[in-house]
Amino acid sequence: MLNGASRAFCWRAPMEPAGQTFGILLRRPTLRVVKRVLLGLSLVVAALLVPDCSGRTEGDLGAAPLRGRDMILVVADSFDGSHLGAAGYGRETTPFLDELAASGAFLERAISQTSWTLSSVVSLLTGVEQEAHGVMQIDESLPQSGLSTLGELFQRRGYRTVGLVQNAVIAEGTGLDRGFDRYEAIPFTADGAERLIREVRALTDAAERERPLFLYIHLGPPHMPYQPPEPFRSRFSKGASGSQVEGSIRETTDMMVEELAPSHPDVIRLLELYDGHIAYADSLIRRSVQAFESTGRSDPPVILVTSDHGEAFMQHGAVGHNLFCYEPMIRIPWILSAPGVIEAGRRVPGTGSLLDVAPTLVELFGLPRPGQPMAGASLVPELMGGGPIEDRPLLISSRYPRPGREAQLALVEGPWKFVVRRRGQSAQLFHTAEDPDELVDVLGLHPERGARMEALLEERRAEVRGSGAAARRELPEHVLRELDALGYGGQDGDGGQLGSLKGR
């Protein structure tokens, strides 16, 4: 039950603890505080007017407007958010997600903190950067204590918690199953996807009907290989490119070895297949939601759709993800549908982060406060009260190739992006609103901004680096085989998608 103290906690931006030194938290403009106070007042009024979905009394609703509602968190792996119809993409890739965005709130720009799966999912569920949680290699796992996950927070709030994941990277032994009553790895195949939908349909039985559900679905598509079933496979193929590319992992590594341009017919064909894979993912999300709704729950579920990272197609010389912090590898969807609470059709300008998901859900659902200070911010003021997400510095890093070697790092501050390419390359500065493809380095034109952003980057990095304590684990043989099929190529982190770029 919420008491006065915890209600006050909700409206004081719960993920912004005193003592956190990163500039983002101490330099938040007063405008945000004002917006939050106004929103708080309006929501207290709204809480008295909106029907109580949880069966609790009016007084218990307090400042957590989604308390007691079912929650479905969908991650579609490797989904570049610029390929959404709602983001203005030229192909009709996402009819269902566009409907979902129109029924709720859609962030016009959202980015992940890192560009590879395991670290990114740990960040999503804990709300901290990969340097802070410390799970930075594929054979590392979440430590048993010290970081609360969304699964644990929902479970402690009385939720039944279920995770259905279609990516071996986040399956058994990663510690991500903490807090889930059930956490199941499902094969990354079309048959596996059908099974996932059947599992969703079978979730609610009479005995569990009174208990709210937190369901985490991690879809394999559109992760490579880009080989969706028909009709998605040929949906965007006009047969005009003349390319015989079939969307395999081998083809993607060959493209990097051959240094094909983004305009090459093989890359264009690969992109067609990727978009078909996105359309397939969109259909799976629609069917998953329909399967859930067919279970007879009384209230519509709250649905948040996002991804763990984006995907590149020979921009900056690479296909896939892992390697860089450039935009194609970190752009993600961020859609929240909460009928009755989030106004339909809200488009939120500014730059959101995958790290904002956990603090936002903590506030909306009135979840217990986690032990760790979260790096993102609750976006409740923007999602419910309107206005843009204010610029703040966000630390981004690519996959760390292996222990002791450096990742590519970036600091994003609204449209500005400062990139440090380790291994001897020069720093870069981009304005991603004017130059979304990051083709023009403007560091020479804005040296003071670059110096300030570099200082912020190093400040945050020094603050969080080494604070995590990931555990090492032995990867079972069948997991190694599945990782190889996904292009990860073994434990050392330099195989598969990275193999052809050794030494760059």
417: helix, strand or coil = strand
Of residues 276 through 335, those in contact with Zn ion by CB under 5 A are: 308
Minimum distance from CB of 99 to Zn ion (Å)?
25
Give the contact letters, 377-416, x = binds to Zn ion (CB under 5 A), - = no.
----------------------------------------
**Toward Zn ion, which CB reaches closer, 289 or 332?**
332
Q: Which of 345, 358, 376, 346 is nearest to 304 (CA)?
A: 358
Smallest distance from Zn ion to CB 309, Å: 5
Residue ranges of the alpha helices (H) in 13-94? 23-26, 30-49, 58-61
Rounded Cα distance, 316 and 327, in Å: 10
Minimum distance between the CB of residue 432 and Zn ion, rounded to whole angstroms? 21
Distance in Å, CB of 495 to Zn ion, minimum: 16
Which positions from 110 to 139 touch Zn ion by CB under 5 A, shown as an x/- string? -------x----------------------
For residue 218, what are the β-bridge partners?
Answer: 75, 165
Report the candidate in 96, 4, 13, 20 with the shortest Cα–Cα distance to residue 373. Answer: 20
Min dist CB 117 to Zn ion, Å, is: 3
Distance CA 465, CA 21 (A): 14
Task: Identify which of residues 39 and 125 has a Cβ nearer to Zn ion in the complex.
Answer: 125
Nearer to Zn ion, 251 or 308 (CB): 308
Considering only 16, 70, 77, 129, the residue that binds Zn ion (CB under 5 A) is: 77
Q: Considering only 77-85, 370-378, 394-402, 410-418, which stretch makes contact with Zn ion by CB under 5 A?
A: 77-85
Residue 103 as a binder of Zn ion (CB under 5 A): the answer is: no
CB 137 within 8 A of CB 105: no
Considering the complex, state which of residue 133 and residue 264 has its C-beta at the smaller distance from Zn ion.
133
Q: How many residues bind Zn ion (CB under 5 A)?
A: 3
**Judging by beta carbons within 10 Å of its beta carbon (0-12, 13-18, 19+), is residue 207 exposed, middle or buried?**
exposed
Q: How far apart are the first and last CA of the chain?
A: 55
78-115 b/e (C-beta count within 10 Å ≥ 16 → b) = bbbbbbbbbbebeeebbebbbebbebbbbbbbbbbbbb
Sole window of 109-117, 124-132, 256-264, 448-456 interacting with Zn ion (rule: CB under 5 A) = 109-117
Of 308 and 363, which has the nearer Cβ to Zn ion? 308
- Report, in Å, the least distance between residue 75 CB and Zn ion: 8
Query: Minimum CB separation from Zn ion for residue 441, in Å?
Result: 28
Return the H-helix or E-strand segment holding 121. helix 117-126
Count of helix runs (H) and strand runs (E) in the chain:
16, 18
Structural tokens at position 29: 């403009």
Are the C-beta atoms of 63 and 309 separated by less than 8 Å?
no
H/E stretch holding 348 reads strand 346-348
Between 171 and 213, whose beta carbon lies closer to Zn ion? 171
Residue 272: CB atoms within 10 A of its CB come to 22
Q: How far is the CB of 4 from Zn ion (least distance, A)?
A: 42
Q: Which is nearer to Zn ion, 304 or 367 (CB)?
A: 304
For residues 352 and 356, give the distance between their C-alpha atoms in angstroms, rounded to a whole number.
Answer: 7
Q: What is the 3-class SS of 305-341, one letter each residue?
A: EECCCCCEECHHHCEECCCCCCHHHHECCEEEECCCC
How many Å apart are CA 469 and CA 452, to the nearest integer?
A: 30
Shortest CB 149 distance to Zn ion, Å: 18
Q: Which stretch binds Zn ion (CB under 5 A): 8-16, 45-53, 76-84, 372-380?
A: 76-84
Closer to Zn ion by Cβ: residue 130 or 204? 130
- Looking at beta carbons only, is 308 or 382 nearer to Zn ion? 308
Query: What's the alpha-carbon Rg for the chain, to the nearest Å?
Result: 22
Strands of 226-328 (E only): list them.
302-306, 312-313, 319-320
Cβ nearer to Zn ion, comparing 305 with 429: 305
Least distance to Zn ion, CB of residue 290, Å = 25
Q: Least distance in Å: CB of 25 to Zn ion?
A: 28
Q: Which residues bind Zn ion (CB under 5 A)?
A: 77, 117, 308
